[in-house]
């Protein structure tokens, strides 16, 4: 009976044999023993948990999932390029110090690499801090770039809801000293375009400003030192009712009940330009410099959003806080709205699919002289979008092709492998996407079945007679129509029949 320790010892023994370059037969024998022990262990626990899994919170993408993922990426990249963005890439890990002090309480979720006798490294937690490091390091004061890459968080995964420890972020950021709110408005336009393009259903983009939040905390009587922690309580309002958030503020965080109640009045407010006007007249808020600045800029933002024609899906929402430390101005978050049925009065939010904001201080944290580069950006949460689309495909039984093959090169008779290989080589060289079964003498039925299964639309059949006549029999899989095509016209014929309308 094998147990885990015994298996480990055996694995170590195998490792040593290999290291010592022992007799291959001996190694093979010990490896077989190891596999047997592992199989036993797996069998006992109901599954082979030893090797046959991906790490916690991660997953493989199958060809079908990749096909869906590529559709989403294409929509997003097309949008980013439509807005004139360049693209950069950065390493998957950074010096540990680069990430230190950027994520507040979430820093504990960072994956560190083992100290193997060199630099101390961590996997990137987002794409924003690497961008700031990149800008400071290369003294770039001006860029509009996108970056699509995986980021890593040792969070509790909720994979059915699209929350993973390894996940993609699709970021678009504008860095540079510009006139106020123009780039900020473009980021919101981009979110609007992407969510509309992907046809995920109705959505809402909540907007707020860190300066309004800070001003609000000040006029409500929150001590300076509690701004960030009270802010992170406010951030929970999309998941918890006000009463619970209030008791966290008062009970756990020691805020006075009066201050909490004053906050409670503000954070239930949401609306549009009218609300901004009202708050600009608010006797307390209007006296606070930060809040006034924030409100003035939000007003300007809404003017630009009106020009873009997208205010219908934007809500100025005083309860939006966002967790990250580095935001300094506008913040926003897009949520999908679920219309369960027509009787539901208010659509229910099913979670954030995009978010972002302005972070004018982050690049300066990396610059030796503290030179600032103002930045604003948006991050699209691809995994949740991907989950939704995947479920939709499953439900609709839509058949997704995982290859783009235009034609299968086949034969009806035996001994024609050489002729098939000659023909497919011609097709490949002409740029035709073509496959052939890797069998010497495949049955025609099997070849046709392969086309049905994989969605290949055409079959090019070579046979003795066709070879003699200098033609290829082209069969349309869907209609079973067959035509003889002269060999020299085959490429053109395949192109014509498979060109996208």
Site residues (CB under 8 A) for a copy of itself, limited to 120-139? 121, 123, 133-134, 136-138
Q: Residue 459, SS3?
A: strand
Contacting a copy of itself within 131-190 (CB under 8 A): 133-134, 136-138, 143, 145, 150, 152, 154, 166, 174, 176, 178-179, 182-183, 185-186, 189
List 2, 72, 75, 88, residue binding a copy of itself (CB under 8 A): 88
Which span sits near a copy of itself by CB under 8 A: 112-120, 241-249, 275-283, 490-498?
112-120
Shortest Å, Cβ 238 to a copy of itself = 22
* Euclidean distance between the first and the last CA atom of the chain, given in angstroms as a whole number: 63
* Residue 312 contacts residue 339 (beta carbons within 8 Å): no
Q: b/e map of 200-236 (b: 16 or more CB within 10 Å)?
A: beebbbbbbbbbbbbbbbbbbebeeebeebbbbbbbe
Q: Is 125 annotated as a binding residue?
A: no
* Residue 184 contacts residue 301 (beta carbons within 8 Å): yes
Q: Which two tokens stand for residue 442?
A: 């495949």
User: Could you give the angle at which helices 4-19 and 24-45 cross, rounded to 10 degrees?
Assistant: 160
CA–CA separation, 7 and 34 (whole Å): 7
Cα four-point dihedral sign 97, 103, 106, 111: negative
Contacting a copy of itself within 211-240 (CB under 8 A): 224-229
Q: Is 127 annotated as a binding residue?
A: yes
421 contacts a copy of itself (rule: CB under 8 A): yes
* Residue 37 to residues 12, 48, 96, Cα–Cα distance (Å): 13, 11, 39
Which span sits near a copy of itself by CB under 8 A: 92-100, 236-244, 262-270, 316-324?
92-100
Q: Is 126 annotated as a binding residue?
A: yes
Is 56 or 278 the residue whose CB approaches a copy of itself more closely? 56
Q: Is 154 annotated as a binding residue?
A: no
Among 80, 61, 86, 7, CA closest to 39: 7
308 contacts a copy of itself (rule: CB under 8 A): yes
14 contacts a copy of itself (rule: CB under 8 A): yes
Contacting a copy of itself within 467-486 (CB under 8 A): none
Q: Which residue has the tokens 């995009």?
A: 354
Is 49 or 278 the residue whose CB approaches a copy of itself more closely? 49
List 55, 241, 283, 501, residue binding a copy of itself (CB under 8 A): 55
Binding-site positions for L-histidine: 126-128, 153, 169, 173, 322, 326-327
Binding-site positions: 126-128, 153, 169, 173, 322, 326-327
């Amino acid at each position: 009976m094998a147990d885990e320790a015994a298996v480990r010892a055996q694995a170590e023994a195998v490792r040593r044999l290999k290291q010592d370059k022992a007799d291959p037969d001996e190694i093979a024998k010990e490896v077989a023993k190891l596999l047997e022990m592992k199989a036993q262990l797996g069998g006992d626990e109901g599954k082979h948990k030893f090797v046959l899994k991906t790490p916690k919170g991660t997953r493989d993408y199958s060809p079908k999932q990749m096909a869906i993922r590529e559709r989403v990426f294409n929509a997003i990249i097309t949008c980013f390029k439509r807005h004139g963005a360049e693209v950069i890439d950065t390493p998957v890990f950074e010096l540990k110090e680069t990430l230190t002090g950027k994520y507040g309480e979430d820093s504990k979720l960072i994956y560190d690499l083992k100290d193997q006798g060199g630099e101390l490294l961590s996997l990137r937690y987002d794409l924003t801090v690497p961008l700031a490091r990149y800008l400071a390091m290369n003294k770039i004061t001006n860029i509009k770039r996108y970056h699509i890459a995986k980021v890593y968080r040792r969070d509790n995964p909720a994979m059915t809801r699209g929350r993973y420890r390894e996940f993609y972020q699709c970021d678009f950021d504008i860095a540079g000293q510009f006139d106020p709110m123009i780039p900020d408005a473009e980021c919101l336009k981009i979110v609007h375009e992407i969510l509309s393009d992907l046809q995920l259903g109705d959505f809402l983009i909540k907007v707020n400003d860190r300066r309004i939040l800070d001003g609000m905390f000040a006029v409500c009587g929150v001590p300076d030192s509690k701004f960030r922690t009270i802010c992170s309580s406010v951030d929970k309002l999309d998941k918890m009712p006000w009463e619970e958030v209030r008791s966290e503020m008062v009970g756990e965080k020691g805020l006075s009940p009066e201050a909490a109640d004053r906050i409670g009045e503000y954070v239930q407010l949401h609306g549009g330009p009218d609300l901004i006007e009202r708050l600009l007249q608010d006797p307390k808020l209007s006296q606070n410099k930060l809040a006034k600045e924030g409100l003035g800029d939000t007003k300007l933002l809404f003017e630009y959003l009106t020009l873009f024609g997208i205010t219908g899906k934007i809500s100025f929402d005083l309860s939006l806080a966002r967790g990250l430390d580095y935001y300094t101005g506008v913040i926003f978050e897009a949520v999908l709205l679920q219309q369960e049925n027509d009787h539901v009065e208010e659509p229910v939010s099913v979670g954030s699919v995009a978010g972002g904001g302005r972070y004018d201080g982050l690049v300066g944290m990396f610059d030796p002289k503290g030179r600032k580069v103002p930045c604003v950006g948006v991050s699209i949460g691809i995994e949740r979008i991907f989950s939704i689309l995947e479920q939709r495909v499953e439900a609709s039984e839509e058949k997704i092709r995982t290859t783009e093959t235009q034609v299968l090169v086949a034969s009806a008779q035996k001994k024609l492998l050489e002729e098939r290989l000659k023909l497919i080589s011609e097709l490949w060289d002409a740029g035709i996407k073509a496959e052939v079964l890797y069998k010497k003498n495949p049955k025609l039925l099997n070849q046709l079945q392969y086309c049905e299964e994989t969605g290949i639309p055409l079959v090019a059949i070579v046979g003795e007679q066709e070879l003699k006549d200098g033609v290829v029999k082209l069969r349309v899989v869907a209609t079973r129509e067959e035509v003889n095509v002269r060999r020299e016209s085959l490429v053109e014929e395949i192109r014509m029949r498979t060109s996208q309308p």
